[in-house]
Amino acid sequence: MWATALRWVHPVSILEISVVMFFIKENYSHPSFKLGIKDISSAAPGIAAWGMMIGVAMIQSGMSVFDSVLMTLIVFAGSSQLAAIPLLVAGAPLWVIWATAFCVNLRFVVFSAHLRAYMMSWPRWQRLLAAYLTADLSYVQFVKRFERPATELTGQRSEQAYLAGNCFLNWASWMIASLLGIALAHYIPADWGLGFAGVLALVGVTCSLATSTLKRISSLIGGVVAVLFFTLPLKLNILIAIACSVFLCLTLEMLFVRYKRTVAPGEDGDTYE
């Protein structure tokens, strides 16, 4: 069974396990690696604050230090951890915990559809590793930096290096802060409101994404729909918000932006403002 599993991953995967994508020389020596680090560095304190809060939450909800550290090191997904913690502590059935985490993570499935066009040219092993490490902010900054997937090798190398750099700092600040949160859980009151720094980091990044009228409308729709459906379980309000926002903005774009596209075919980016 293991042999099949390993063959399925990639023939040279065993070697590559030890050379995680941050440490592939082609990545970290590429100028885009630094650019990725620079982009995420501004938001890193927010990520760290949010990570620390999750570390504290795990211990304060009664998880053992071993479980908390293991979860931090391998699960690497704040919102699904937050959803799973009380279930794990309460001893809920495995399938309930896993189904909950899957639903809370559904937004990543949408993101993966978006990232597919960028990533299919990479070897499967690197693709899966990169995806595993690409949390919300890395995805958001990546597709902002590279609005269209590169078609030639130089561009693809640059994309890969950028993502590696961005994920690296995101991962490192998350891990350090989260482990610190576990260690200091008894000294950090949950009510400090530390986690709000994470929300503020997202506020900043959201502002940076609002580059066109349609994107601002998209933001508004997403926010309002998420509030309207807030009482749905499993964070499904976020998924519905993304779906509504995408479909309404596509419709608006077709209704109001088409005339510009006939003027400049192919130039259908954010130029319509």
Partner 1 sequence: MGTRMNEFWHIICILGLALITLITRSFFFISERQWQLPAWAQRGLQFAPIAALSAVIIPEIFMFHAQVSMPLTNARIYAALGGAIFFVVRKGRGQVVLGTILVGMAIYLPLHLGLGWS
Chain positions 43 to 62 lying near partner 1, rule: CB under 8 A, are 43, 45-46
Q: Sign of dihedral through CA atoms 238, 178, 44, 33?
A: negative
* 220 makes contact with partner 1 (CB under 8 A): yes
Would you tell me the crossing angle of helices 196-209 and 44-60 to the nearest 10 degrees?
A: 150
> Site for partner 1 (CB under 8 A): which residue of 13, 27, 81, 160?
81
Tell whether residue 164 is a contact of partner 1 (CB under 8 A): no
Q: Is 167 in the site for partner 1 (CB under 8 A)?
A: no
Closest by Cα among 135, 53, 128, 196 to 68: 53
Using rule CB under 8 A, residue 102 touches partner 1: yes
Q: Which of 241, 244, 215, 236 is nearest to 226 (CA)?
A: 241
Cβ count near 238 (within 10 Å):
20
C-alpha dihedral sign at 15, 133, 121, 4 = positive
Q: Are 30 and 161 spatial neighbours (Cβ–Cβ below 8 Å)?
A: yes
Residue 20 interacts with partner 1 (CB under 8 A): yes or no: no
Q: Does 6 bind partner 1 (CB under 8 A)?
A: no
Minimum gap (Å) between residue 254 Cβ and partner 1: 9
User: If binding means CB under 8 A, how many residues of this protein chain bind partner 1?
Assistant: 91
Identity at 46, one-letter amino acid code: G
Site for partner 1 in 111-130 (CB under 8 A): 111-117, 119-120, 124, 127-128
Is position 156 an interface residue for partner 1 (rule: CB under 8 A)?
Answer: no
Which of 20, 24, 35, 110 touches partner 1 by CB under 8 A? 110
Cβ-contact 55, 182 below 8 angstroms = yes
| Member of 199, 233, 258, 264 binding partner 1 (CB under 8 A) | 199
Nearer to partner 1, 181 or 222 (CB): 222
| 90 belongs to the binding site for partner 1 (CB under 8 A) | no
Binding of partner 1 by 108 (CB under 8 A): yes
The window from 28-36, 156-164, 177-185, 220-228 that contacts partner 1 (CB under 8 A) reads: 220-228
Decide: residue 66, CB within 10 A, 0-12 exposed, 13-18 middle, 19+ buried. exposed
* Minimum separation from the CB atom of position 139 to partner 1 (A): 7
CB of 6 to partner 1, least distance (A): 16
Binds partner 1 by CB under 8 A, chosen from 61, 197, 213, 234: 197
- Residue from 12, 17, 26, 144 binding partner 1 (CB under 8 A): 144
Q: Tell which positions 234-253 bind partner 1, by CB under 8 A.
A: 237-238, 241-242, 245-247, 249-250, 253
Task: In angstroms, give the least distance from the CB of 104 to partner 1.
Answer: 9
Crossing angle of helices 196-209 and 136-145, rounded to 10°: 20
- Listed in sequence order, the DSSP H helices in the chain are 2-9, 13-18, 25-28, 31-41, 44-60, 65-75, 78-90, 94-104, 106-119, 124-133, 136-145, 153-183, 196-209, 213-228, 236-256, 258-263
